[in-house]
Amino acid sequence: MDVNLVTVLAILAVAVSQTSETLFPGAFNCCTKISDEIPKGILRRVEKFEIQKGDGLCHLEAVILYIEGRKFCVSPRIRKVKKWMKKNKHKFPRRKIPGRKHRRIIKKNRNGNTMKQAP
């Protein structure tokens, strides 16, 4: 009985870890170490980037650079990275946050009728 219980618990633990990673991918995508230097020419090959904030699930501020399917975590305080992100922020599409809706502004026209406009 004890061996069967241990086997079932082990299988359950593996199943839960794989399922939770697919359901919550951001929770398992944190940078744990960051580089304070960036190799020459690496910013030209970046396919996309994300900013990791230190106040959420991940407790370290970082910039995640994706190059050829791999990720590199660098400090957001590197002057070269700051300048590059400012220059290239419009080249990469922003990630949409699920469940977030835009606020509608309701204005009244001269006749007193209401008009809805998106911000």
Q: What Cα–Cα distance (Å) separates residue 22 from each residue in 5, 7, 19, 114?
A: 26, 23, 5, 44
User: What average pLDDT score do residues 73-83 get?
Assistant: 93
pLDDT tens per residue across span 44-53: 999 989 999 8
Whether the model pTM is above 0.75:
no
Residue 27 in this model has a pLDDT that exceeds 90: no
What pLDDT, on the 0 to 100 scale, is given for residue 75?
94
What pLDDT, on the 0 to 100 scale, is given for residue 19?
44
What pLDDT, on the 0 to 100 scale, is given for residue 81?
93
Structure tokens at 24: 């919550």
Residue 90 in this model has a pLDDT that exceeds 70: yes
